[in-house]
Amino acid sequence: MLKNHEKFHSANGKRTILVADDEQINRAILGAILENDFEVLYAENGKEALEILEENREIISVVLLDLMMPVMSGMDLLRHLKEEPELQRIPVIVLTSDQTAEIECLSLGAIDFISKPYPQAGVILARVTRIIELSEDQQIIHSTERDPLTGLYNREYFYRYAEQFDQFHKEMDMDAIVLDVNHFHMINERYGKHCGDDVLRRVGESVRNVVRESGGIVCRRSGDTFMVYCPHREDYRDILENASVSFTEDASSDNRVRLRMGVYSRVDKVLDIERRFDRAKSASDTVRGSFAKTIGFYDSAMLETELYEERLVEDFSAAIRQEQFTVFYQPKFNVRSENPVLSSAEALVRWQHPELGMISPAVFIPLFENNGLIQKLDTYVWQHAAAQIRDWKDRLGVSVPISVNVSRIDMYDPGLVEEFQALLKKYELLPGEFLLEITESAYTQDSAQIISTVKRLRNLGFMIEMDDFGTGYSSLNMISSLPIDALKLDMKFIRDAFRDGKDTRLIELIIDIADYLNVPVIAEGVETEEQLNALRAMGCEIVQGYYFSRPVPAVEFERFLKG
C-alpha cells in the first residue's frame, strides 16, 4: 500500500506540473523557477494542454494556465475540464494580466491566480506548493469520505458532518429525510447493473443539487437509499420530483424511477443522529408499496410504536427463558377429494406477554428480523414444533407433518442445516415430517447462498414450501432450477380475487406455474366456502385458512387428529 502522499509523486519522486502558455519566454521563466522542485511539462496552446492532461491525468498535480492562447484558449480549456470528472480534480492556476477575467475563471473552476508580469520566484514557488498540498489533502479526504459510486458522503462522514452542522447551528430546526428508490432491483434486472449504477448516480446528484441551496447535505446510506439532513422546509415535493430521474435515454415520463420519502421533520436534537434517520426510515417504510402516497412523515403514533417496540426487545430474553412464547397450529387440508383430508399443520408463534397480553407475530416478527433476535425465537419455535410431532406420535399414534417458518435471516446461518439435523435426531423424526416454509423474497436477495442451502436441505430429505409466493421477485428461471416441494400462494391473491367482481386470473397463472414445476399449490387465507370451491375447481390441492380453522393451541388442534 502506498502511503497517502506518495501516490502523487511521479517516477523520480517529484510532482508533475503542466505549464500551458503560447509564449516561449513565459514558459522559459516558469520552467527556470519550477524545474528544480518539479517535473515540468509544456504545452503551447489549450488543445495541446488537453491532450497532455488526458494522457497524464494520474500524475499531473497542477496546471499553470495562460488565458490568451491560439487554437484553444485557456478559458475554453477550463470549460472542458469542468465537464470531465476525472480531470476536474486537477487544480488550475491562471496566469493573467487581466484582472477582470478573474471572476469568470473562478466560476469555471480555476483555483488561484498568478498575475503577469510574474511576481518573485519565491512567491510563485510558494503558491504552487501550497495549492498542491491543499488539493492533495482534499483528495485524501475525498477518497475516504465519499461513496465511490455517487461521489456523495458515505454514511459515517455524513453523520459526522451532520453533527458538526448542529454544533454551529444549535437553534436551527432541521429535517432528517430518507429517500428510497422503489423496485430498484427491477431496474438492475431489466436494464443491467450499469444502468442501475447510472440511475443511483443521477438520483444522488439531483438530490444534492436541490438541497445544497438550503445548506443541506446528502449521502448514500446503502444500496438504493439516500439520506438528507437539511434546514427545516415546508415542502418536500421538489426534492422528490428532481430525484425522479429517467432510467433510459428516452426521457418520457413513464420511465422515471419512482421514489418514496420518509421525513422526520424538526428533529429532536437530543436523539443520536442515527436514531433520527431510523425515524425517517420508518416513515419511509409506511408508504412502501403505496401508489398514492410517496411521502411519509414521522408522527406521534410512530413514536408510540417505537417505544412499544423497544419494550418488546427489552423483554425478549426473559420471555424466552420463561417460555412466554407459545406455538399455535393451523391445519392444512388436502381438498382434492370431496372430503378434505388433514395433510399438515403450520406452526405459528404467539407471545403471551404478562403485562401487554397476547401479541401477534405480525408485530414482533418483523421487529426481531431487524435486530437478529429472530434466530433465537425461530430455534425456540422449531424445538417446540419438533417436540410436538414427537408427542402426538407417542401419545396419539399419528404422524402429522408440521411446517415451520424459516426467516430470511436464518438462511444466512452457516449452522442451519446442522441445526435441523440435530433436531430430527433429538426427537427421532423423519425429514419428511418437518416441513420448511421459506418466503419467496428470501430467494431474491442473495440467491446464490440461499439456493445452495436449500439444495443441501433438500438432499437430506427436507421438504421446502415457498411461502408468500407472488410477493417476491424470484424469476421463473430461478424457481425452475431450484428444487421446491410446494408453492404457497400468498393470501393477498385470494383476498383480491374475491373482493368485488371476482377475478381469479392471477391465481390461475400461479397454479399454471406450479403445474409446470410439478408441485402442488397451497392456498392460505381461505375463509369462505365460495373461495374453497373456486380454488378447488382451479386445481389447487391444499388449503389453509379460517374456513377450516384459525391457528389454535396444540391441545385444541388434537380434535383434528382424533377425528
Given the rule CB under 6 A, which residues bind ligand C2E?
330, 348-349, 360-362, 365, 374, 378, 381, 405, 407, 467-468, 491, 524-527, 544-546, 551
Main-chain phi, psi angles of 457, to 5 degrees: -60, -40
Q: What angle (nearest 5°) sits at the alpha carbon of residue 275, between those of residues 271 and 281?
A: 140
Residue 362, binding choice from ligand C2E, Ca ion, none, Cβ under 5 to 8 Å by partner class: ligand C2E
Q: Which is nearer to ligand C2E, 8 or 351 (CB)?
A: 351
Residue 286, binding choice from Ca ion, ligand C2E, none, Cβ under 5 to 8 Å by partner class: none
Q: Which is nearer to Ca ion, 265 or 344 (CB)?
A: 344
Query: For 468, left (φ over 0), alpha (ψ -120 to 50), or beta?
Result: left
Q: Provide the minimum distance between the beta carbon of 415 and ligand C2E in the complex, in angstroms, as a whole number.
A: 17
Q: For Ca ion, which stretch binds (CB under 5 A), given 145-153, 177-185, 233-241, 468-476?
A: 468-476
CB 520 within 8 A of CB 343: no
User: Contacting Ca ion (CB under 5 A), which of 180, 378, 440, 467?
Assistant: 467
Q: Which is nearer to Ca ion, 20 or 406 (CB)?
A: 406
Locate cell 420518509: which residue? 262
Q: For Ca ion, which stretch binds (CB under 5 A), given 127-135, 218-226, 444-452, 461-469?
A: 461-469
User: Contacting Ca ion (CB under 5 A), which of 21, 147, 309, 468?
Assistant: 468
CB 316 within 8 A of CB 536: no
Q: What is the SS3 assignment for 316?
A: helix
Question: Where do the H-state alpha helices sit in 344-446?
Answer: 361-371, 374-396, 416-427, 440-445
Residue 360, binding choice from ligand C2E, Ca ion, none, Cβ under 5 to 8 Å by partner class: ligand C2E
Q: Provide the minimum distance between the beta carbon of 138 and ligand C2E in the complex, in angstroms, as a whole number.
A: 48
Q: Which is nearer to Ca ion, 278 or 468 (CB)?
A: 468
Q: Provide the minimum distance between the beta carbon of 350 and ligand C2E in the complex, in angstroms, as a whole number.
A: 7
Residue 348, binding choice from ligand C2E, Ca ion, none, Cβ under 5 to 8 Å by partner class: ligand C2E
Q: Which is nearer to ligand C2E, 49 or 406 (CB)?
A: 406
Buried b (16+ CB within 10 A) or exposed e, 465-494: bbbbbbebebeeeebeebbbbbbbbbbebb
Residue 545, binding choice from ligand C2E, Ca ion, none, Cβ under 5 to 8 Å by partner class: ligand C2E
Q: Provide the minimum distance between the beta carbon of 348 and Ca ion in the complex, in angstroms, as a whole number.
A: 7
CB 180 within 8 A of CB 187: no
Other CB atoms within 10 A of residue 124 CB: 19
Residue showing the smallest CB distance to ligand C2E in the complex:
545
Number of residues in the chain: 563
Q: Provide the minimum distance between the beta carbon of 465 and Ca ion in the complex, in angstroms, as a whole number.
A: 8
Q: Which is nearer to ligand C2E, 21 or 437 (CB)?
A: 437
Q: Contacts from 46-52 at CB under 8 Å and sequence distance 24+?
A: 46/20, 46/71, 46/72, 46/73, 46/74, 46/76, 46/77, 46/80, 47/71, 47/72, 48/20, 49/18, 49/20, 49/77, 50/77, 50/80, 52/18
Residue 361, binding choice from ligand C2E, Ca ion, none, Cβ under 5 to 8 Å by partner class: ligand C2E
Residue 5 CA to residue 237 CA, distance in Å, equals 44
Q: What angle (nearest 5°) sits at the alpha carbon of residue 248, between those of residues 247 and 250?
A: 130
Strands 259-264 and 325-334: unpaired
**Peptide bond just before 520 cis, omega within 30 deg:** no
Q: Which is nearer to ligand C2E, 21 or 467 (CB)?
A: 467
Q: Provide the minimum distance between the beta carbon of 108 and ligand C2E in the complex, in angstroms, as a whole number.
A: 58
Residue 241 CA to residue 453 CA, distance in Å, equals 42
Q: Provide the minimum distance between the beta carbon of 508 and Ca ion in the complex, in angstroms, as a whole number.
A: 19
Among residues 420, 431, 430, 329, which one has the least CA distance to residue 379? 420
User: Contacting Ca ion (CB under 5 A), which of 405, 407, 531, 549?
Assistant: 405
Residue 403, binding choice from ligand C2E, Ca ion, none, Cβ under 5 to 8 Å by partner class: none
Q: Provide the minimum distance between the beta carbon of 266 and ligand C2E in the complex, in angstroms, as a whole number.
A: 35
Q: What angle (nearest 5°) sits at the alpha carbon of residue 23, between those of residues 110 and 127?
A: 40
Q: Provide the minimum distance between the beta carbon of 445 and ligand C2E in the complex, in angstroms, as a whole number.
A: 15
Q: Provide the minimum distance between the beta carbon of 328 and ligand C2E in the complex, in angstroms, as a whole number.
A: 7
- Which residues here bind Ca ion, judged by CB under 5 A? 405, 437, 467-468
